[in-house]
Homo-oligomer: A and B are copies of this chain.
Amino acid sequence: MTENVQENNEAELTEGQSNTAKSPAEIMAAAEAIIFVSDEPVTTKILSEVLGESREMVEAALEMLKNEYASRESGLQLREIAGGWQIATRAELHETVRKFLKRSPSAKLSIAALETLAVIAYKQPVTIPEILEIRGVQSASAIRTLLEKRLIVTKGHRETVGRPMQYGTSKEFLIQFGLRDLSDLPSIEDFQDLVSANLENQ
């Protein structure tokens, strides 16, 4: 019943299988690595396919792995959720984890905040209406975020109608972006060579 093409595949498959006879410890390690890198819980079906091992073997390995996590008082646990397996922190440690997550590094910014920060950095001192004009979008929440992260500071009122508040970058901004002072900020001219190199080759 085998066609030519299938014969080929079969030959490869069996060859592969003979190479991959894994010990239970190896199955445990491989399953652990797969579950770790996965964005979603991994089913035993998928594990069995990827590892080329029977469902029973995989399930036994997972049980052992789960017990291992539990018995060594690890900060992590292996658990079954939504029909698949996943590695997660132990519930008892949630407070510690939350405490850590609260202090996220301030250089992490949303695109909106980064755009606003870029406009402020290069146009300072600048007012909110000016930022709005350049970005073409409201920047109120981005400015709030930047103020909260202390990347920008107020720079007094502009002496025009309505006396709008002016904004500029802070000392924290210099630290976060590894700049000695604002003159360290690269200008468009600094990258002119890089840009023209591109244009020449296009």
Please, which residues of chain B bring their CB within 8 A of the CB of A165? 186, 190-191
Q: Is the Cβ of A37 less than 8 Å from the Cβ of B68?
A: no
Q: A18: CB under 8 A from chain B?
A: no
Most B Cβ at <10 Å: residue of A2, A8, A75: A75
Q: A149: CB under 8 A from chain B?
A: no
Q: List 16 A-B contacts (CB under 8 A).
A: A1-B67, A7-B72, A29-B75, A29-B93, A32-B74, A32-B76, A34-B100, A40-B105, A46-B103, A50-B96, A50-B100, A140-B196, A140-B197, A144-B194, A165-B186, A165-B191
Q: From residue A21, how far is it (CB to closest CB) to chain B in Å?
A: 14
Q: Mark A10-28, 1 if CB is under 8 A from B, else 0.
A: 0100000000000001101
A interface secondary structure, majority = helix
Please, which residues of chain B bring their CB within 8 A of the CB of A31? 75
Q: A96: which of B28, B30, B197 is its contact (CB, 8 Å)?
A: B30
Most B Cβ at <10 Å: residue of A73, A183, A193, A194: A73
**With A4-B71, A186-B154 as given contacts, are A50 and B103 in contact (CB-CB < 8 Å)?**
yes
Q: A123: CB under 8 A from chain B?
A: no
Please, which residues of chain B bring their CB within 8 A of the CB of A36? 75-76, 87, 89
Most B Cβ at <10 Å: residue of A38, A42, A67, A72: A72
Q: A1: which of B50, B68, B87, B105 is its contact (CB, 8 Å)?
A: B68
CA–CA, A202 and B45, complex, Å? 48
Q: A51: which of B96, B180, B197, B201 is its contact (CB, 8 Å)?
A: B96
Q: A133: CB under 8 A from chain B?
A: no
Q: Is the Cβ of A93 less than 8 Å from the Cβ of B33?
A: yes
Known A5-B71, A7-B73, A36-B75; further 10 A-B contacts with Cβ < 8 A: A2-B71, A8-B71, A8-B72, A26-B73, A37-B97, A50-B99, A140-B196, A144-B194, A153-B178, A156-B179
